[in-house]
Amino acid sequence: MTEPFQPGRDFAVALDRADPLVRFRDEFHVPRRENGEDEIYFAGNSLGLLPRRTQKYVDEELEKWSRLAVKAHFSGENPWMPYHEFLAEPMARLVGASPTEVVTMNSLTVNLHLMMMSFYRPTRERHRILLEDHAFPSDDYAVESQALVHGFDPGEALVRLEPSEGKHSIDTADVARVLEREGDSIALVLLPGVQYYTGQAFEIEAITKLAHAKGCVVGVDLAHAAGNLVLRLHDWNVDFAVWCTYKYLNSGPGSVGGCFVHERHASQRDRPRLAGWWGHDKKSRFRMEPGFRPIPGAEGWQLSNPPILSLAAIRASLAVFTEAGGMEPLREKSFRLTAYLEWLLQRELGEAIEILTPADPHQRGCQLSLRVKSRSSGRTVFEKLEASGVTGDWREPDVIRVAPVPLYNRYEEAHRFVEILRRSL
């Protein structure tokens, strides 16, 4: 994105004034420093901020619990029995799916295992799993353990995609080359929507096409993409996807995760799955009879009755996204906000800071991953940033991640951040 940005603070303030989403910051609790000023909170890629309305949504459920107790499953406003269904439509909109293709359940890694139980069906000839080198460790452990469960040696079964020489990100052409060479032995391609370390957004649609052409199943980890990118999971034809709701979806630490199963798998009875009563046909669930009959669609992968207090927080957060007009306007702001931050960093600190995240705005979300090139150690710089009221995060071995989130961050904060970073170097 080539924009005529200007370096002064006034320009940042003018961008904020012209921002149609600026009022949404007041929907959130922004942590304060000891001096009473708001922190510059650039850690929404780790834990999103608390929406002010969440308390009301959670209090309503506590109140129903106190007043109705078990009867709240079936009576009162928003009964608990179908409570997860109230989330299906707004969640589906955020990830580009139909409501029957998504369900809010468990947490990310649990959902990844459940999906792999159904969609990683290895044979001797085709049992390998393609993932990116330095994938988030939980994904790495999950695929290793799945290979082991099926009797394969993870050292041989995992194919790790590396960026080409001298690059930080993995081009779709790199993926195509590996698929061309080894695709016939690959059962599952598991890639991130946005890579947690570099901030690279993968071209999921193109990769899915390539992988399907080779007969591979495609799963996507959207931990850093849900609520960050415009996603079209249904149209992109991915087989399954999993995500968490505590990052860009602002639903609280450890909150319940999301799961997508493409419509074409909705009623496949020959695909094995780990089953539980919440995935059983709703009409006959309470007959308590043996013989599992899955609900068609993503709901059929549920195991347990879900934690309502967490779902209430997700409902509150999804309502904020809906009011903001969904992902398109947020992404539009995000393009500009991250481009502005990148422009300032290059202009003011280009000698001292390397940006690992792709420069093409379509190949990244809001996060920039920074590496300190100067003599100061990255870790020391990070600690100085924290002491000056900036919350980003540090990822070993040497990266400072900063994520200006379009729902609640401002251009003026990006400007102030670069000033503070200059002083910290």
Ligand X SMILES: Cc1ncc(COP(=O)(O)O)c(C=O)c1O
User: Considering beta carbons, is residue 15 or 204 the nearer one to ligand X?
Assistant: 204
Least distance between ligand X and beta carbon 108 (Å): 4
Residue placing its CB nearer to ligand X in the complex, 221 or 342: 221
Half-sphere exposure of 41 (CA within 13 A, CB side): 24
Residue 242 CB, shortest distance to ligand X, in Å, is 8
CB nearer to ligand X: pick between 136 and 417: 136
The minimum distance between CB 124 and ligand X, in angstroms, equals 29
- The residue (of 214 and 224) whose beta carbon lies closer to ligand X is 224
Q: By C-alpha distance, which of 83, 80, 134, 146 is closest to 110?
A: 146
| Residues listed for the chain | 425
**Cβ closest to ligand X, residue 220 vs residue 353:** 220
Query: Is the CB of 54 or the CB of 245 nearer to ligand X?
Result: 245
25 closest CA partner among 325, 320, 367: 320
Residues that bind ligand X (CB under 6 A): 107-109, 136, 138-139, 192, 196, 221, 223-224, 244, 257
How far apart, in whole angstroms, are the C-alpha atoms of residue 397 and residue 387? Answer: 21
Answer for the pair 2, 387: CB distance below 8 angstroms, yes or no. no
Who contacts 233 (Cβ-Cβ below 8 Å, separation ≥6)? 95, 96, 97, 101, 220, 241, 260, 262
User: Shortest distance, CB of residue 261 to ligand X, whole angstroms?
Assistant: 18
| Residue closer to ligand X, measured from CB, 223 or 344 | 223
Contact 193, 220 (CB under 8 A): yes
Collapsed DSSP state (helix, strand, coil) of residue 294: strand
Q: Which residues contact 91 (CB under 8 A, 6 or more apart)?
A: 102, 104, 258, 314, 318
In the complex, least distance from residue 224 CB atom to ligand X, rounded to whole angstroms: 6
Q: At what angle do helices 308-323 and 54-68 cross, to 10 degrees?
A: 140
Minimum distance from CB of 193 to ligand X (Å)? 9
The minimum distance between CB 32 and ligand X, in angstroms, equals 25
Amino acid, single-letter form, for residue 261: V
